[in-house]
Amino acid sequence: MTDFESINKLTSQSFKQQKGLIKRVLNGKPSQCAECKQPLELVLPEDQKAKSSGIYCKKGCTDIELELDAVNK
């Protein structure tokens, strides 16, 4: 396997793992950080205080920013 093929394979696997994690959290299923095993927190646009919208753990190991818009009814 060439260097580029192995890099592409690792990148693809990482993308699929993050995509699955985001889906689980957005579906309300409890998920933990892979590094520190702390529960992940979903920060929505209307909940923002200091952080951007996204998925975070308390220690900062998991830090996935999402582009979300608040919907006003």
Domain boundaries defined on the chain: 3-65
Distance of alpha carbon 10 from alpha carbon 61, whole angstroms: 19
What local confidence, expressed as pLDDT, does residue 3 receive? 84
Q: How far is CA 72 from CA 45, 46, 57, 69, in A?
A: 11, 10, 27, 10
pLDDT for residue 73 is more than 80: no
Q: Is the pLDDT of residue 4 over 90?
A: no
pLDDT in tens, 33-70: 989 999 999 988 876 566 788 999 999 899 999 887 76
The amino acid present at 62, given as its one-letter code, is T
